[in-house]
Amino acid sequence: MIKIDRIFQNFPGKFLVNGERNSGKTSAAIKLYKKLIENNISSEKILVLYSGSMAGLNWRENLVFPSVNKINGQTYYSFIKSELNIYWPIVLENCHRINKKLIKPKFMSYDLSYYMMKLLVNHYRNKKNILLDITSSSERVARMLISNINVCAENLVDFEKIGEKLFYSLDLATTLEQNTYDEINTVINQYISSLIEKGTIDYALSVYLYNEFLIKDETYLKKLRNRFEYVMVDDFEKSNKAILNLINKLEPEGLYLFGNMKFNKRYTKHLLDYIQIPFETIDLLYKRGENLVGDFTQDFVNYHMEGQSHRESHIPVKVENNHILRGQMIEGICEKIERLFKQGYNANDMVIITPIKDEILEYSIREKFENNNIMSFINTEKISKDEHMHSFVFLCALCKDFKKVNFNRDDYKKFFINFFHLDMIDASKLGDEAHEKGLFNVDFQRDEYNKLKEYIEDRIKENYRIDKLMEKVYIDKILKMNDGEKKAGIVKNIIETSSNFMDIMEDFNKIKNPEEELLNLLLDEKIKSNKTNEFREFKDNENTLFIMTPDSYVNSNLNKKIQIWIDISSTTWNMRTKKELSNPYVFKVNKDKYNTYTEELEGMLEKEIILYNVSTLLRACTDEVYFFSSEYSKRGYEQNNTMYDMLLDALEKFGDNDEL
């Protein structure tokens, strides 16, 4: 750590600390922050930017100063939201497109922006015969368009050039395709204009308005420079031009960047070229021998980047690819977990990494290990799987007398089990009857049942708005369930999201019954709740088995002894950059000229992304890694992908790995 010590010796300084996962970057960043405080630098003068809420959790847990002012640690989006809230009058003065003059802007969540775009895409398809040449669903089209808008905003690209840049990047463009991309521009421009006019902004518009109308204002910029003299950025490789624009404008006395710049060279070079402030680079090199998984990861990367191979006597990686059917693979995973338990590992020593949500896998593990008191934390778990949240949404629908919320027989059965504590047989019988006749038209003789009926009738008469009703239902009913108090954080988040949804829907008046639609969106996980608080509760429990997507695991900052990757030969692991209607590369790296995006370039980018993701995941493991695959997918298709081929190729070069 001799080289890294240089950043602690002289203040202020300007450094980029470059290292891979678990090389000590974040620890060095937190140590540096403490050192700045010890040198009598006020925490109010230090701006810390990290990549997400999980990274923020890690910072907050490691920075506890009883006598220090508020720590200015946040994501870039949280920072600009706060700035726009405070200095919105400056934006109103500079941006003449905003017709609705509010004291503060109305912010839309990611999920709500997708939903609003889907409504707009449906409107253009059904009413104006636009986007009909695109075979994807309106929901998928909406997600791709929002993705384009977000990437453009982050990289300070004009929204009006989205369709044009995508079209000119095509290898063999046709007139028909040009018409499609012109239509994309029409929809995107309408989406942006309609939101800006009403002072309602999503993530992309927040970034756009901040960079175009606030940070360019000399009065604001002077205040900003007086507030912050030091800037620290963690996970710098995930930054974008908007973040770098903030750094360039601030011209801080101290600048400290911490990132993994080894991979995605085209993009990271583009980031570094955009910084206008000179800095010194410190490279943290991996030391062999710390653990076998780390050594294998280093060899895997070196082999695919430089052609070097290193033979180990024991490789801590096992590929379980002897399964024909996917069901057999899932059985194999359960058997492996059982053997690991017998070897002395507990559930919290492991993580299952799945490319997409997998309800069959989740159900199989819960059923198999029910007697082991295993609690699985699933980062994509639906509200319907949580007994408190299911009862919460169910009761809210009853208290509004909604008939079109998507409750089926199983939902009624779950409610009888969770709320009235009935056994499976009685709950199934009453659930079927309630689904046919209505909840309060069944033969169920209990005092609490009759009291609930009276409670719901009273709430129907009061006709609270849905967000206010949610507060009352939680306090009156859900809080009194076992462990109901542990759901306060999730309920608070759902209520805030619901309030935001209702405010936006009332402004735009696009759907007939927004409250009923909201409950359906919550049930279908189209609007998600923030699980950071739940994660904090579960992460140190030895009975918690984490089931996570690659991104969620990397962002969680967890380090497990055992990793189990599933479906590694599946196309769901594909890491292609170019999609049907989106291609972030042309907005991130391509400049003003329209460079053709070729399959050769796509292949090179895919390899770089695979190396980054595989390396980052494996470095968050200490003991052993198991790759599971099946010859056929759950739909019966043969499976293979580039990542799988790269792993097998490397293992073949490194030598035989023992049975783990």
d(CA 484, CA 12): 49
Region label for 636, one of left (φ > 0), alpha (ψ between -120 and 50) or beta (otherwise): left
Amino acid of residue 165: K
Q: Is the confidence at residue 659, as pLDDT, over 60?
A: no
**Buried b / exposed e along 548-586 (16+ C-beta atoms within 10 A):** bbbebbbbbbbebbbbbbbbbbbeebebebbeebbbbbb
Task: State residue 525 phi and psi, 5-degree precision.
Answer: 60, 25
d(CA 319, CA 321): 6
Mean pLDDT of the 370-384 span? 62
Q: Is the confidence at residue 92, as pLDDT, over 90?
A: yes
Q: Is the confidence at residue 341, as pLDDT, over 80?
A: yes
pLDDT of residue 534: 64
The DSSP H or E segment spanning 497 is helix 488-508
Give the residue among 76, 84, 77 at the shortest CA–CA distance from 113. 77
Question: What is the dihedral sign for C-alpha 247, 248, 249, 251?
Answer: positive
Length of the chain: 660
pLDDT of residue 7: 76
Residue 576 CB contacts under 8 Å (≥ 6 apart), including other chains: 602, 606
d(CA 238, CA 26): 14
Reported confidence tier of residue 334, pLDDT bands at 50, 70, 90: very high
Cα 250-253-257 angle, rounded to 5 deg: 80
Cα 515-517-518 angle, rounded to 5 deg: 65
Q: Is the confidence at residue 240, as pLDDT, over 90?
A: yes
Which of 15-24, 40-49, 216-225, 538-547 is predicted with the least confidence, judged by mean pLDDT? 538-547
Q: What is the dihedral of CA 31, 33, 39, 40, to 10 degrees?
A: -150
pLDDT of residue 379: 54
Bridge partners, 411 (sequence order) = none
d(CA 239, CA 245): 11
Residue 179 CB contacts under 8 Å (≥ 6 apart), including other chains: 133
Q: Is the confidence at residue 656, as pLDDT, over 60?
A: no
Share of the chain above pLDDT 70, in %: 90
Give the residue among 534, 270, 285, 487 at the shortest CA–CA distance from 392. 487
Residue 649 CB contacts under 8 Å (≥ 6 apart), including other chains: none
For residues 295 and 639, is the Cβ–Cβ distance under 8 A?
no
pLDDT of residue 4: 66
pLDDT of residue 658: 46
Bridge partners, 627 (sequence order) = 319, 565
Amino acid of residue 11: F
For residues 642 and 610, is the Cβ–Cβ distance under 8 A?
yes
By CB neighbour count within 10 A (0-12 exposed, 13-18 middle, 19+ buried), where does 144 fall?
buried
Give the residue among 473, 492, 476, 485 at the shortest CA–CA distance from 531. 492
d(CA 232, CA 247): 10
Give the residue among 385, 325, 401 at the shortest CA–CA distance from 534. 385
The count of other CB atoms within 10 Å of the CB of residue 247 is 20
Bridge partners, 626 (sequence order) = 318, 564
Among 205-214, 547-556, 577-586, 641-650, top mean pLDDT goes to: 205-214
**Buried b / exposed e along 68-106 (16+ C-beta atoms within 10 A):** eeebbbbbbbebbbebbeebbebbbeeeeebeeeeeebb
d(CA 584, CA 266): 13
For residues 375 and 535, is the Cβ–Cβ distance under 8 A?
no
Q: How far is CA 278 from CA 232, 238, 239, 259, 296, in A?
A: 15, 20, 17, 16, 35
3-state secondary structure 553-601: HHHHCCCEEEEEECCCCCHHHCCCCCCCCCCHHHHHCCCCCCCCCCHHH
Q: Is the confidence at residue 535, as pLDDT, over 90?
A: no
pLDDT of residue 337: 93
CA 171 to chain centre: 31
Which of 37-51, 132-146, 148-162, 293-307 is predicted with the least confidence, judged by mean pLDDT? 293-307
d(CA 186, CA 196): 16
DSSP state of 16: E
Mean pLDDT of the 337-358 span? 91
d(CA 545, CA 538): 9
Q: Is the confidence at residue 462, as pLDDT, over 90?
A: yes
For residues 299 and 309, is the Cβ–Cβ distance under 8 A?
yes
Bridge partners, 320 (sequence order) = 628
For residues 84 and 214, is the Cβ–Cβ distance under 8 A?
yes
pLDDT of residue 537: 66
d(CA 660, CA 658): 6
Q: Is the confidence at residue 518, as pLDDT, over 70?
A: yes
Region label for 566, one of left (φ > 0), alpha (ψ between -120 and 50) or beta (otherwise): beta
Region label for 199, one of left (φ > 0), alpha (ψ between -120 and 50) or beta (otherwise): left
pLDDT of residue 367: 80
Give the CA radius of gyration of the chain. Answer: 27
Q: Give the pLDDT confidence of 550-590 residue by residue, as tens digits.
A: 988 888 888 899 999 999 999 888 778 888 888 888 888 75
Q: pTM of the full predicted structure?
A: 0.88
What is the end-to-end Cα distance of the chain in Å, rounded? 34
Among 241-250, 318-327, 575-584, top mean pLDDT goes to: 241-250
Bridge partners, 233 (sequence order) = 49, 257
